Chain A
Amino acid sequence: MRYIPLTQDEKQEMLDVLGIASVQELFDDIPEHILLDQDLELPEALSEAELVKHFRELAKKNSDLSSVVSFMGAGAYDHLTPSVIKHIIGRGEFLTAYTPYQAEISQGVLQSTFEYQSLIAEITGMEVANASMYDGATALAEACLMSCAATRRELVVLPSTLHPEWQEVVKLYLENQDVQIAYLPYDRQTGIIDPNAVGGINWSDVACVVVQQPNFFGLLENAAALGELIHEHGGLFIMAVDPISLSLLKSPGELGADIVVGDGQSLGNAMGFGGPSLGFFAASGSKLIRRMPGRVVGETVDTEGKRGFVLTLQTREQHIRREKATSNICSNQALNALIAAIYLNVLGKVGYQEVGMQCLQKANYFKQRLLEIEGLSAPFSAPSFREFVIQGDVDWAEINQRLLEQGFLGGLPLDGCGLAGHVLFSVTEARTKEEMDTFITLLRGLI
């Protein structure tokens, strides 16, 4: 086997040291009747060249976004990614390290994580961020559980404008701990939650209310009003945010959020058919910080007084607290968090704003062009950022199939959300005017 360096001679030397005749003897303590007496039924080994060929063949069966122009978002976004990212994360010192348990030889991972935490805290306007969660959905689920623990309440209020998959994930996590969920309906005219129409909930029982900003339809919610409402009743305010939008939008910190979560795919991470990305998790207030899930890096000094970084506040974590830990998370998304940090650093203060600005401008241009097409309309009136919903009495799935033949990935049909004839488009800075205009021409021909 090409990755096993042991030679026959070396093997014999080891067997001699052990005083045994064959490796098989090392497995003598396994009950004989369960030992496998034949090979696993798997394909025979491929050489490196054969492996490459196999993967190329599989890849060819996919239509990928290096040749297809995408207007699809809904949680995974086609942003430009600076080349420099892949070169940095390809360095073996980052790629092939694990959790920085031995701080003195892990300052690279620790300092870059500290910088990541600083960047996330900065864009969200929160006091601190942890070192990453699996993804946005699980980060939100953990934020809800953390709110329940912090408030000793067992009711969570979710907006019906939350990404449907995130709703499913949160529901699964919460129902396993017998936490109840109430949903806030959205206004059919604006497409957002109406903070004045949230009756029927006993707010003093509510651990937290969640707002997704922008919401699943790409629209901006009146977040501050919901935050005030929950704070009046002693609960916590959670915001689930898109990190690119924070370049333009008021930070959750300014809006009074206690916990902020989100998915970091759009910060330089590949779409990769949905993963891996990262979840970010930020909070304010020392009481909440000590209840956060996941790893956290802190600054300290060495014996000579030199600055250095270590994993800290570990008494929250499973390896120490076991069943009393704040979460079971162990491995996280360190490399994806590194990507996010490199992305934000290389874009920088101005570049980051430009990405947000271009998404907004291009999405608006595309939306106006779509609305020129007869039969299409905008069902919701609230302002939007990078995504928006269009309505038209057509079979969007069928249209998408036809568009794909022309090299375009259309928007996401929303039939699954009870919105037949509605489709969710996303436009990033990666789209050009020419691509948008071509798409409009093609779509006209199909409607």
Chain B
Amino acid sequence: MATKKVVPLIIERSTPGRRGYRLPELDVPEIPLSQLIPEEHLRTEPAELPEVSELEVVRHYTQLSRLNHGVDVGFYPLGSCTMKYNPRVHEDVTSLPGFAALHPYQPESSVQGAMELMFNLSEYLAVISGLEATTLQPAAGAHGELAGLMVIKAFHAHNGESHRNEMLIPDSAHGTNPASSAMVGYKVIEVPSDDRGGVDVEALKKLVGPNTAGLMLTNPNTLGLFDENICTISQIVHDAGGLLYYDGANANAILGIVRPGDMGFDVVHYNLHKTFSTPHGGGGPGSGPISVSKELAPFLPGPIVQKEGDKYVFATPEHSIGRLKSFYGHFLVFAKAYAYILSHGPKGLREVSETAVLHANYMMRRLQDVYYLPVDRHCKHEFVLSGMWQRDMGVRTTDIAKRLLDYGYHAPTVYFPLIVDEAIMIEPTETEPKSTLDEFIEAMRAIAQEAKEYPENLTSAPHHTPVTRLDESRAARQPILRWQKP
């Protein structure tokens, strides 16, 4: 990261009369605007957009990009987000005009290749999950949750059980789980965790009942731990008439090792931008397909691709909940995920998970003497430490995170899951070389040492970044959310 200089806003570089792009000359006879659109509809003032040259645009964004960390820049151990390498060939093949320049309403006969891709990916995801049918429509993980919960709700309604309005969610769950449940009108029932980091089975038994619609679970959970009681848990929920929802954010731990369907789950969402390596893009686009059991397949949102003879057709499942998004979903994103699966094959996918898990355990064991490890057992693809020991020295987890930025790393996920005080959630992924893991371990150890000796190095961090620590409470207190004309 090169500069400490403030990059002006692009509008602050604007010069009246400057142009960055020219259209071809208008080649049809021009009719006066007022003859085409009545004045009452027309703007009186043009919108104040910047007036800059193409070079200024390129420089502006290049300068901004240099203020930003990404997987391409350095290690990005952001737990729960699976920041693995994004193969560039996947960008190339999916930007072919044969995919990127397709209109969603072209006749089916003219998009058979795109539909074949969707069909194949749907099948592959069903295979990986051990379930029956897939829709690619949801736009991201949280949208997949919404889709899955709506499917569950429709299933219960179809069976005359509309009274089932309670969704069980562990206290370790990601915030989208309860938020998605609320969006389908479910009451959220929190399930406590036990001291092994899993669902408290005794508590669960007491919480299920005639109103149970289902349970949402991440497995491995947000502590990075596999819930050993999963079969008992699914039995309890199913016996109560509920269904099991699998939050696939952590699927990078289980590819080819164990399938959610075999654990007893009825619905799974994938985050293609995590497990299947489609670029995170600074916050999106993601893609959150769901795979479901045979019983739930008729309720999937449509349209989905089916095969009739050697032709691919769009179809809407018999009792479909309806439509969750325009068109078919994030096609160009799932094209990249499809490429990822083909690049790896079954053995490669298993190797992905094995390596991700090995990396996480290696790092956990090399850090547990300097950071508190709340649950001491094998982790899966990520692990959660606590900054509790450092807190006693006057250093918070935020400070540790900010200090890591000085070392050239993105920080781990912090303060999540909520059940661990001062949580530090580290997910190395399988694509990092061991040397990077070792360097990061050394940085974490050095920071633990600093916390003892020079805590103010941490509390005043970061020091070497383009800006120093930013005042978040001021931003919220006096919101400035857009550029204002001076």
Contacts and interface: CB of A to CB of B under 8 A. Distances in A.
A275 B185 contact: no
B475 to A, nearest CB: 4
A409 B225 CA distance: 53
B176 A44 contact: no
Interface stretch (A182-190, A231-239, A309-317): A309-317
A390 interface: no
Contact of B175 (A30, A74, A310, A319): A319
Nearest to B37: A383
B203 interface: no
A98 B78 contact: yes
B179 A328 contact: yes
Given A93-B65, A246-B47, A318-B176, 15 more contacts: A4-B352, A11-B358, A43-B342, A58-B116, A62-B111, A92-B71, A105-B466, A108-B68, A113-B283, A310-B472, A318-B178, A328-B183, A345-B49, A350-B51, A432-B24
B454 interface: no
A298 B351 contact: no
Contacts of A374: none
Contact of B325 (A43, A137, A335): A137
Contacts of B357: 23, 26-27
Contacts of A365: 28-29
Given A52-B92, A275-B328, A365-B28, A98 B257 contact: no
A65 B68 contact: no
9 contacts: A46-B345, A64-B101, A92-B70, A104-B469, A106-B68, A115-B11, A176-B183, A302-B468, A432-B24
Contact of B327 (A101, A275, A429): A275
Contacts of A362: 26, 28
A351 B19 contact: yes
A358 B259 contact: no
Interface string B57-70: 11011101111111
Interface residues on A, range: 35 or more
A300 B472 contact: yes
A63 B58 contact: no
A318 B142 contact: yes
B341 interface: yes
Interface in A92-125: 92-109, 111-115, 117-119, 121-123
B284 interface: yes
B326 interface: yes
B437 to A, nearest CB: 9
Interface in B78-110: 78, 81, 83-87, 89, 91-107, 109-110
Interface in A387-433: 397, 400-401, 404, 409, 412, 429, 432-433
Cβ-closest 4 pairs across A and B: A59-B98, A274-B327, A92-B72, A45-B345
Contacts of B50: 345, 348-349
A195 interface: no
B158 interface: no
Contacts of B257: 27, 30, 35-36
A201 to B, nearest CB: 23
A353 B64 contact: no
A138 B345 contact: no
A33 B351 CA distance: 21
Given A3-B85, A70-B103, A93-B68, A295 B469 contact: no
Contacts of B342: 43, 45-46, 51, 54
A323 B64 contact: no
Nearest to B333: A276
Interface string A330-343: 11111110100010
A217 B280 CA distance: 35
A108 B142 contact: no
Contacts of B402: 102, 104
Given A137-B325, A332-B284, A347-B20, A61 B185 contact: no
Interface in B416-468: 416, 430-434, 460, 462, 465-468
Given A88-B58, A348-B51, A273 B99 contact: yes
A373 interface: no
Contact of A118 (B180, B325, B350, B482): B482
Interface in B249-299: 255-259, 262-263, 271, 273, 279-287
B348 interface: yes
Given A2-B343, A313-B476, A361 B26 contact: yes
Given A59-B113, A63-B106, A72-B103, A102 B482 contact: no
A27 B472 CA distance: 41
Given A51-B343, A168-B322, A246-B47, A29 B226 contact: yes
Interface string A197-213: 00000000000000000
A132 B282 CA distance: 12
A169 B147 CA distance: 11
B256 A40 contact: yes
Interface stretch (B38-46, B206-214, B238-246, B385-393): B38-46
Contacts of B263: 34
Q: Which of A51, A251, A274, A317 has the most CB of B within 10 A?
A: A274
Contact of A352 (B47, B71, B95, B344): B47
B346 A4 contact: no
Contacts of A42: 124, 127-128, 341, 345-346, 349
Which of B49, B98, B128, B347 has most chain A Cβ within 10 Å? B49
